[in-house]
């Protein structure tokens, strides 16, 4: 499991696409954190609002583009192995459960590194490490990674998951925003399934995002166990 996670982790740092996404994550984080003091004085923000201003760039990027970034890099994490017939080799060395868990942990570790660096940048300017926001974001990313692994397990064609990742990356944030503010009783309850809903709450309900991620990962294992390789 850990060998698979290690390989997945280092593979994500290779290629122009990975570097571009890391830059798109870190650059807004840096400039929002750097110039947030200007907003504090101009808008007369409270201390809590000032802390939020420092991390606003990172939050906006991950809420709007997070799913697109995660799926853009890892949409074929499972079906690539099936398509290239390397999955059979992996199954001779380890279990299906370890493969799913290893893929998930490797991708999550990559984003853990990115979010940690982003928070270090924020801490340089805000002079504090916002652990609450950090674990909120990691909960969101855990859901996004688990959903990506699930999609890559269910859909066998890498080219198709690439197309679906673009659609999902665009539509899911829009759908989440609509669900958060709709008054339609037929749909309003669905906001509790959307991880973005817990990201804007200032309580520990964000821990439910980790539960959601576990459920998605469990579904990935169930589908993978039934799929022939």
Whether the per-residue pLDDT at 41 is higher than 60: the answer is no
Whether the per-residue pLDDT at 47 is higher than 60: the answer is no
- 202-219 confidence digits (pLDDT tens): 788 889 999 999 999 999
CA distance 157 to 42: 52
Closest CA to 70 of 213, 219, 225: 213
User: How large a percentage of the chain has pLDDT more than 70?
Assistant: 89
The domain locations on the chain are 2-226
Whether the per-residue pLDDT at 224 is higher than 70: the answer is yes
Output the pLDDT for position 38: 59
* E strand residue ranges, 50-180: none
Closest CA to 71 of 134, 160, 138: 160
CB 198 within 8 A of CB 205: yes
Output the pLDDT for position 218: 95
Whether the per-residue pLDDT at 36 is higher than 70: the answer is no
Query: pLDDT category, 70, cuts 50, 70, 90?
Result: very high
């Amino acid at each position: 499991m850990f060998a698979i996670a290690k390989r997945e982790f280092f593979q994500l740092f290779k290629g122009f696409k990975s570097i571009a996404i890391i830059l798109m994550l870190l650059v807004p984080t840096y400039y929002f954190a750097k110039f947030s003091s200007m907003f504090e004085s101009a808008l007369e923000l409270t201390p809590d609002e000032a802390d939020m201003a420092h991390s606003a760039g990172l939050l906006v990027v991950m809420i709007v583009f997070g799913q697109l970034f995660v799926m853009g890099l890892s949409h074929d994490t499972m079906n690539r192995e099936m398509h290239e017939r390397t999955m059979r080799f992996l199954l001779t060395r380890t279990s299906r459960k370890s493969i799913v868990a290893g893929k998930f942990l490797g991708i999550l570790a990559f984003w853990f590194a990115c979010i940690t660096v982003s928070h270090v940048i924020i801490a340089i300017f805000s002079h504090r490490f916002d652990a609450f926001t950090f674990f909120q974001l990691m909960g969101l990313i855990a859901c996004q990674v688990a959903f990506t692994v699930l999609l890559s397990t269910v859909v066998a064609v890498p080219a198709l998951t690439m197309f679906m990742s673009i659609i999902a990356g665009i539509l899911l944030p829009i759908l989440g925003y609509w669900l958060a503010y709709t008054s339609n009783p037929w749909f309003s309850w669905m906001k509790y399934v959307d991880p973005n809903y817990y990201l804007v709450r200032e309580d520990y309900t964000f821990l439910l995002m980790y539960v959601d991620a576990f459920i998605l990962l469990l579904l990935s294992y169930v589908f993978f166990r039934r799929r022939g390789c």
